[in-house]
Amino acid sequence: MTIPFIDPDPILVRAWEEVRAFLNSAFISAFLSALAGAGLGVWGAQRVTERSARRKELLDALRQANALVVLAATISNQALAMKKQHIAPLSERYFQERKTAESVNATILEGGRPPTSTAFKAEMVYITALTVPIDALKNIAYSAQLMPGRALALVAMVEQSLTEMGHAIDIRSKQIESFKARSVTQEVTMQDYFGLKRRDGDTDSLYHDSMVAITEYTDDVAFFGAELADEVQAHASRVRNRLVKLAKVVPEVSTVDFSNPRGSGLMPPREKYESWLAGFRGKG
């Protein structure tokens, strides 16, 4: 079958030529170029805005981390100083004398007479609770940018240890007041001071338990404060490494060094806290 050829409509041909001419005109070329440029401009502006926001986030995070390093180190160092000057000498004398008191008290409970040469000195010196920037530490840590979960857990441990330490110091102070106010025999005073059984079978261990708690929680404050300082210092280094790619001028990382108290044995060993540390191993 032969398909007949139909001449195109002259009007349509002329209209199509006018459209082609319009599309190829300088106006359309400029319009399309401007449209493309506007799209690239919006994309570029968005990239600049995102980069600026990221740079500010990292800079804030670094500054917050540096502040936390200083605060955590301050708390740990105060606990270490208190331990060295007061807690360690006091507790060492107390627990050493308690060993002798246990032997003497065993003789008493068996009906014998204690050696007349045995004498004990009750340490009635008050301990002042630590005054540390725990509120500032908490405020910065809980509002900080990009703070690792392990660091937040360490902040909670520092706060809890300080609270328990203060409670133990308060109990000891009240026990000292009680010792001074009551009139009992030297035998009962010795038994209650060292937390030993009396002839009636009762045991008043409040003073002894407070001494144990003060010793333990002082170590806890020192250890967790130092661990927090180290953790946040490492976090600050990671943040700074990311920030140098976005900014020309970047603050340095605040650094602390606990090698001396660790080496001297003043800082409690990590093995003592292995169960806690194991729960956060490899976590950020």
**Is 85 inside a domain boundary?**
yes
pLDDT one-digit tens code per residue, 215-248? 999 999 999 999 999 999 999 999 999 999 888 8
Band the pLDDT of 24: cuts 50, 70, 90.
low
What percentage of the chain carries pLDDT values higher than 90?
67
The length of the chain is 284
The total of structural domains in the chain comes to 1
Query: Which domain range does residue 179 map to?
Result: 59-112+121-278
pLDDT one-digit tens code per residue, 164-197? 999 999 999 999 999 999 888 889 999 999 999 9
What's the mean per-residue pLDDT of the chain? 87
**Is 199 inside a domain boundary?**
yes
Residue 5 confidence (pLDDT) above 50: no
pLDDT at 247: 83
Give the distance, in angstroms, between the CA of residue 265 and the centroid of all CA atoms in the same chain. Answer: 22
Residue 116 confidence (pLDDT) above 80: no
C-alpha gyration radius of the chain: 37
Can you say whether residue 136 is alpha, beta or left, with left for phi > 0 and alpha for psi between -120 and 50 degrees? alpha
The residue that leads in pLDDT, 277 or 119, is 277
How far apart CA 261 and CA 218 sit, in angstroms, is 14
**Is 22 inside a domain boundary?**
no
Output the six-digit token pair for 157.
Answer: 């441990």
Output the six-digit token pair for 76.
Answer: 């740990």
Band the pLDDT of 1: cuts 50, 70, 90.
very low
pLDDT one-digit tens code per residue, 45-97? 566 677 788 889 999 999 999 999 999 999 999 999 999 999 999 999 999 99
**Is 232 inside a domain boundary?**
yes
How far apart CA 168 and CA 210 sit, in angstroms, is 5
**Is 140 inside a domain boundary?**
yes
The stretch 110-127 carries a mean pLDDT of 82
pLDDT at 64: 95
**Is 208 inside a domain boundary?**
yes
**Is 3 inside a domain boundary?**
no
Band the pLDDT of 39: cuts 50, 70, 90.
low
**Is 42 inside a domain boundary?**
no
pLDDT at 50: 75
Burial group, residue 129, by CB count within 10 angstroms (0-12, 13-18, 19+): middle
